Structure formats: structure tokens, C-alpha cells
Amino acid sequence: MPDLIEPHVRVRESFLTAVEESLVDGRMINEDSMIARWIRQYGDRWHTEAGFAEFVDHLHADATPDAPRPATHVPQSTWWLVEGGVYLGRISCRHVLNDWLLEYGGHVGYEVRPSARRRGHATAMLRGLLPHVHALGIDPALLTCDDTNIASRKVIEAAGGVLEDVRGVKRRYWVPTSGM
């Protein structure tokens, strides 16, 4: 049974293997993607213990209001899905919605590593995240996905997502964070 944990240095090797998988998979890697930004910032040193610790510290700090971040970004908490010490995926919750997040990005973002997909991990990960989102004072949470992203649609709908509308390519759902 996988656990949702706060980012931790002990899964460095499998996290980095998962990044390689995502790079091969390719679909998530555009210049603005989270992985692309992490690679730009930490890719030269996160294979070392100290470099990866720095990266993990950055993820923890990113949940605090005063951490340095681009003006367009908001505080964000991240959790990793881990089973038997192996990294499977990540999910994060933005603490507030700015204009762009309200329109397109939503509160929550997630990815399951390509080799672990279609085993129910994203569905379980979102369900496991909701109490944390609730504890951040968010209810309901906005989740968005591309209209063509069937898997993500199913994940959001399985969590009780109620479709508000479709804006451009994005479906926008409100997911209650209490009571599942």
C-alpha cells in the first residue's frame, strides 16, 4: 500500500529515475513545466546527496509564504507517493488561486511516473491529498485538466469533482475536500 509522504531525501534514486522516465515520455516537458524548472534549478547537482537535500529543502520551503518565488507563483505544498521506498508520483496543492490559477491551473497538480500508471495511483493520491487540502482551509478545491486528458478527468470525477465549465482546452472542476 503506497504512502503519501512529504518530500524526503531517502527516495533520491527512484525520484531521479522517475524524472528520466518522464523525460523519455516527453509529454510533460515543456519549458514551463515543473520538471523543466526543477531541472534548470537543481539538475546539475541533484544526483549528489547534498544537491538532492537542497532540492527537497526547496520543496518544503515552497509551502511557506515568504520563500523566494517568481511573482506569478503562490505558496505550494507537495507530497510524494512512495511504496516500499520507491517514488511513484507527486501531487501538490497551491494555497491560493491567482488569476491564472483560477482560470486554468487550479489548486492541485499531480503526476504519476510513466512506469506506474494505470494502477489507480493517481486516484488514490488525490483521495489521500484531500484532507491536507482541507487542512489548508480550501473547500472546495479547483482542479483543472485538458479536455483530452481522459485519465485526469476520471481521477477528478472519482474524487467527486463537479464540472463548472470548460475554458479553452481546460475543464474546470470543484472538488469537495471534506467528507470522502
Q: Tell me the residue length of the chain.
A: 180
Do residues 15 and 80 lie in contact, with contact meaning Cβ atoms separated by under 8 Å?
yes
Among 90, 94, 107, 121, binds ligand COA (CB under 6 A): 121
Residue placing its CB nearer to ligand COA in the complex, 107 or 121? 121
Region 7-36 residues binding ligand COA, contact defined as CB under 6 A: 28
Instruction: Based on the shown chain and the rule CB under 6 A, indicate whether residue 129 belongs to the binding site for ligand COA.
Output: no
What is the strand order of the sheet 170-175 is part of? 141-146, 170-175, 162-167
Instruction: Based on the shown chain and the rule CB under 6 A, indicate whether residue 159 belongs to the binding site for ligand COA.
Output: no
Among 37, 43, 158, 176, binds ligand COA (CB under 6 A): 158
Kindly determine how many residues on this chain lie close enough to bind ligand COA according to the rule CB under 6 A: 19
At closest approach, how far in Å is the CB of 98 from ligand COA? 18
Residue keyed to cell 533520491? 12
Give the C-alpha separation, 130 to 176, whole Å.
Answer: 8
At closest approach, how far in Å is the CB of 110 from ligand COA? 5
Among 122, 129, 130, 175, binds ligand COA (CB under 6 A): 122
Instruction: Based on the shown chain and the rule CB under 6 A, indicate whether residue 117 belongs to the binding site for ligand COA.
Output: yes
Give the C-alpha separation, 161 to 41, whole Å.
Answer: 34
Residue keyed to cell 504519476? 112
Residue 102 is given by DSSP the state I
Query: If residue 163 lies in a helix (H) or strand (E), which one and from where to where?
Result: strand 162-167
Residue 54 is given by DSSP the state H
Give the C-alpha separation, 38 to 149, whole Å.
Answer: 24
Instruction: Based on the shown chain and the rule CB under 6 A, indicate whether residue 151 belongs to the binding site for ligand COA.
Output: yes
Residue placing its CB nearer to ligand COA in the complex, 45 or 144? 144
Instruction: Based on the shown chain and the rule CB under 6 A, indicate whether residue 93 belongs to the binding site for ligand COA.
Output: no
Q: Taking contact as CB under 6 A, which single stretch among the options 3-11, 43-51, 70-78, 148-156 is the one that binds ligand COA?
A: 148-156
